[in-house]
Structure 1
Amino acid sequence: MKRFFVTLFALAFLVSCSTDHGRPVATLSYDRVEVTQGSLGILISFTSDTDLLALFGPAIGEGLVCALEDDLDFSIGHYLKRSGRGSVRFINDTTGGHYESKVIFREAGKLQGEELILGGKALHDVLVKKEFIACAFRVHTTSNRTYVSSIMHVPTTDLVQAIDIR
């Protein structure tokens, strides 16, 4: 019985370390998508009610993560079968600032670490089955804590239109 409580305490501690970031949960608002010429990436533009790039000091990784399926577990240790990922940069403009991320969509292969880049028809076929994809800003800090923003819905009609323009 003692072993059970020690295990339970250790698990609760580890979970709290990975999610207790002490920062406000940013609300992201979708703006638009654009095709990036000469690249497989799609530029997703959005705004945030929080300064995303100033949330933490040293970070191991930060960026926009999008789920192409119904799996919305954006934690660092979780592997999404089909997803999009891209770094985020701040665009200082006359409307008060936007963010953009050049997202590249991937599908996990049969072997661990193997990925297939999804583009063109393959990506189109995945997107037309959904009304939107879910994206979130994620940061993994050097203190082993993971920050995940609120989920932003990106309409697949906009993504399909951007793919079809290519």
Structure 2
Amino acid sequence: MTPPLFAPSLRLAACALGAALSLGGCSHGIESMPLEFSSFTYHDGSYYLRFRSDEEIVSLFKRHTGDGQIGEWLKCALDDDQDFTVGHAMIYNLGGGVDFEGISEVRGYNYVVWARFNKTTPDRSTETALLKPAIHRLLAGKTSIPCKLSITAFPYNAYYSKTMQLPVAQVLSEVAKHRDRLPEWVPYQVDAGRPPLVPQIEPVPLYGKRLQMIDTDTGKPRGYVPYIVKRRDGYLERGETDYDGLTHEVLSLTPETVQLYLDEPVP
């Protein structure tokens, strides 16, 4: 009997080398399975998309190739872009990770997706949640939107299911239930006999100084003489010195240089 050209371990190593060299992954040989839509519901701020399959999904690669898989995602196209290829940025989409929910003897394997309506940037660096007006605009005139399951496993090419159609009428019915939650205002409780709290306001720092008028001949303060203080911006403040020759307190939010003049000639 002629041995195979590559033993399984050598074939896997060759695939891994090809993937590392960007030559593409290995063919997994898994046939695309159909998915059956179950329901789309909104509950407590989240959307849940449920579907069924005839074959168990979480260990699909393990059963067919003997190797584990990285993750499972379901994505639905909201506009005309229906390229579900892993690595492609589908700008407007509905989707999320797939979780196993249970087994039905009649219906098979049940799965649930915590789904989000997303707008994805072309470089796939950012996803923004779509608001209700955008969802209605994207789904207007549609009866259904296509969805596909994708599974990744190194070093294989991604697996894709057959297309599942999601009924738009049911989606919009659940979207209509979504309401933005507003924070509730709770009044502050004041104990009887205790004054209400007064908010503390930080004082604004001020620079202030009283200037003194000195007689240049005697070196003594000049009391009770009119004066003018000229501020940096040209504003004039008038007053009369007190007994010690002091002016009013000149205040400023920032340090500044002022000029002091007599308002009339010294007699």
Number of the residue aligned with 1:124: 136
Number of the residue aligned with 1:28: 35
Number of the residue aligned with 1:76: 86
2:109 is the alignment partner of 1:97: yes
Q: CA deviation at 1:86?
A: 0.8
The secondary structure found in structure 1 opposite 2:142 is: coil
Q: Distance in 2 between matches of 1:140 and 1:30?
A: 22
Q: Distance in 2 between matches of 1:90 and 1:111?
A: 30
The secondary structure found in structure 1 opposite 2:176 is: helix
Instruction: Check 1:76–1:110 CA distance in 2 against 1; reply closer, same or farther (3 A cut).
Output: closer
Select between 99-108 and 56-65 the one with higher mean Cα deviation. 56-65
2:66 is the alignment partner of 1:61: no
**1:55-93: per-residue Cα shift (whole Å, max 9, x none)?**
124333311111112222211121111112211112225
Q: Determine which structure has greater relative contact order: mean sequence separation of CA pairs < 8 Å that are 6+ residues apart, divided by chain length.
A: 1
Q: Distance in 1 between matches of 2:177 and 2:145?
A: 19
Q: CA deviation at 1:102?
A: 1.2
The secondary structure found in structure 2 opposite 1:162 is: helix
**Aligned-residue CA RMSD (Å):** 2.3
2:168 is the alignment partner of 1:156: yes
Number of the residue aligned with 2:159: 147
2:48 is the alignment partner of 1:38: no
Instruction: Check 1:24–1:123 CA distance in 2 against 1; reply closer, same or farther (3 A cut).
Output: same
Do the aligned partners of 1:26 and 1:150 also contact (CA within 8 Å) in 2?
Answer: yes
TM-score by length of 2: 0.51
**1:9-35: per-residue Cα shift (whole Å, max 9, x none)?**
x9xx946x36x3211211001111110
Q: Distance in 2 between matches of 1:150 and 1:129?
A: 24
Unpaired runs of 5+ residues, structure 2, are 1-17, 63-67, 179-267
The secondary structure found in structure 1 opposite 2:58 is: helix
Q: Distance in 2 between matches of 1:76 and 1:141?
A: 12
